[in-house]
């Protein structure tokens, strides 16, 4: 059976990012065969990892084992907060390239806006780091650059010195946490919002509305939650280590949640706002 083809979102620089991908996790929560299966058999073309997860080498190997051409895969990795600063960023990026065994990264993100304990010049370190990110982008080593877990205050600080507006802000996004001020800021600046933790660690699966909609649309609860994220124009990267789940999560392009049902789900976060902080 032919795998469904994912839709894409055009970033502000014209680069297209798949709207649905696979998130990976720390060693111990990483399943190699599932990543290969996602690429080879299910149609995934966006894979998200990070230096912090200690699985970049494995992800690079999975890409090669899948036999999917590198040019067809949108690969994201991230700079850990201990590596903030111009030179550290350049060196950390080079190390990620070596571990992944690739010549370029499709999207490189600053993983967190905070610094290790004891650093009192966070704002200037972020600015230095962003200059390094811009340089990597100008050299063609990254197709796009962005940030992760940045709130409006962090982006406004960065705005004072940036030459290139971040192409992506990867944030926690699910039915219990939908930060509308941040989302609107990103929209106004042309920053694509990418959301992790769409199932809110499984908590959202217990919502009666989600079960009701799963019955109505003849889909699983996970598919309803992922589709809800996508229809809110959020690039979505659910994590799973199970091959059956990775296949299930990708079957969301053959239906659409009606507007009135979207609004019912949208209203949940207003009464049950909860941030999990899992990245």
Assess whether pLDDT exceeds 90 at residue 159. Answer: yes
In a domain, 39, yes or no: yes
Q: What is the pTM of this model?
A: 0.94
Task: Give me the domain span that covers residue 70.
Answer: 15-205+235-243
Number of Cβ within a 10 Å radius of residue 7: 12
In a domain, 137, yes or no: yes
**Residue 209 and residue 213: Cα distance in Å, rounded?**
6
In a domain, 72, yes or no: yes
Assess whether pLDDT exceeds 70 at residue 120. Answer: no
In a domain, 270, yes or no: no
In a domain, 271, yes or no: no
Asked if 144 and 107 touch (Cβ cutoff 8 Å), the reply is yes
In a domain, 269, yes or no: no
Domain count, the chain: 1
- Closest to 268 in 3D by CA, of 210, 227, 213: 210
Assess whether pLDDT exceeds 80 at residue 3. Answer: no
**Residue 137 and residue 261: Cα distance in Å, rounded?**
40
Active site residues: 53
State mean pLDDT over 51-61: 97
- Closest to 115 in 3D by CA, of 107, 125, 105: 125
- pLDDT confidence tier of residue 1, bands split at 50, 70 and 90: very low
Percent of residues, the chain, with pLDDT higher than 70: 93
E-strand ranges in the chain read 8-10, 16-18, 22-23, 46-48, 74-79, 105-110, 142-148, 168-172, 192-196, 235-236
Say what the pLDDT of residue 18 is. 98
Whichever domain contains 90, its CATH number is 3.20.20.100
pLDDT tens for 243-277 read: 999 999 999 999 999 999 999 999 997 666 566 65
What is the helix, strand, coil percentage profile of the chain, to 5?
45, 15, 40
3-class DSSP state of 160: coil
From residue 261, alpha-carbon distances to 115, 144, 204, 228, 257 in Å are 41, 34, 15, 9, 6
State mean pLDDT over 135-155: 98
From residue 52, alpha-carbon distances to 6, 11, 98, 216 in Å are 27, 25, 15, 40
> Which position has the higher pLDDT, 67 or 117?
67
In a domain, 273, yes or no: no
Say what the pLDDT of residue 27 is. 75
């Amino acid at each position: 059976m032919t795998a469904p083809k994912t839709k894409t979102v055009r970033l502000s620089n014209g680069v297209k990012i798949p709207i649905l991908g696979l998130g990976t996790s720390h060693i111990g929560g990483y399943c190699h065969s599932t990543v290969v299966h996602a690429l080879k058999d299910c149609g995934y073309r966006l894979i998200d990892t990070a230096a912090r997860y200690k699985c970049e080498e494995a992800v690079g190997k999975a890409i090669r084992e899948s036999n999917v051409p590198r040019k067809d895969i949108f690969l994201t990795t991230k700079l850990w907060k201990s590596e903030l600063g111009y030179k550290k960023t350049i060196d950390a990026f080079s190390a990620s390239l070596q571990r992944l065994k690739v010549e370029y990264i499709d999207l490189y993100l600053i993983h967190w806006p905070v610094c290790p304990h004891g650093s009192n010049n966070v704002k200037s370190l972020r600015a230095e780091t962003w200059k390094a990110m811009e340089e990597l982008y100008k050299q063609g080593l990254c197709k796009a650059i962005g940030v992760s877990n940045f709130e409006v205050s962090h982006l406004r600080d960065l705005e004072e010195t940036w030459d290139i507006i971040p192409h992506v802000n990867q944030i926690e996004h699910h039915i219990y946490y939908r930060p509308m001020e941040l989302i609107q800021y990103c929209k106004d600046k042309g920053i694509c919002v990418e959301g992790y933790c769409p199932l809110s660690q499984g908590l959202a699966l217990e919502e009666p509305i989600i079960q009701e909609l799963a019955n109505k649309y003849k889909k699983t609860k996970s598919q309803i939650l992922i589709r809800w994220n996508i229809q809110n124009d959020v690039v979505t990267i659910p994590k799973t280590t199970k091959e059956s789940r990775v296949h299930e999560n990708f079957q969301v392009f053959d239906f659409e949640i009606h507007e009135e049902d979207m609004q019912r789900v949208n209203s949940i976060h207003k009464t049950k706002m909860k941030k999990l902080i899992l990245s």
